[in-house]
Structure 1
């Protein structure tokens, strides 16, 4: 399952996300989205967890928690959906 995270601190790194999500199950990827021009975080990220049940538990447990002083939003990414 693909998970999207919003409202991250500029200081949050990929390894921080992997550490945050790993207690819920296997994390196959964790990546802070970065601006292509300057390389700085845009304060959003994607995490991939292969087991849907573990991913849903992570989403339920981590939505609206504080990470690096910011309350993060964690939701399932629906591929193909239009924003």
Structure 2
């Protein structure tokens, strides 16, 4: 199950995030999204856990917890993929 983790500080590392989730079960992967120009964290990331029950426990336990003086947001990641763009319409005058 893919889990969204938001409101992260720019100093959060993937290793520290993995350790937080490993307390609830096996972690397949951790990815903190970074700005491609300066390599700073954008403040969110994703964690993948193979067991849905372990992932649900981690979500319930970690959502709202204070990490680096900020409450993090943890919930199921949207599995819908990219959203459709609205078609471009010209204005008629």
TM range (shorter): over 0.9
Q: Which has the larger radius of gyration?
A: 2
RMSD over aligned Cα, in angstroms?
1.0
Scaled by the length of structure 2, the TM-score of the pair is 0.84
Deviation at 1:17, TM superposition (A): 0.5
Aligned length in residues:
82
Structure 2 unmatched ranges of 5 or more: 84-93
> Normalising to structure 1: TM-score of the pair?
0.94
Alignment partners' CA distance in 2, 1:31 and 1:78: 15
CA distance in 1, matches of 2:61, 2:42: 23
| Partner residue in 2 for 1:53 | 53
**Greater fraction of residues in helix:** 1
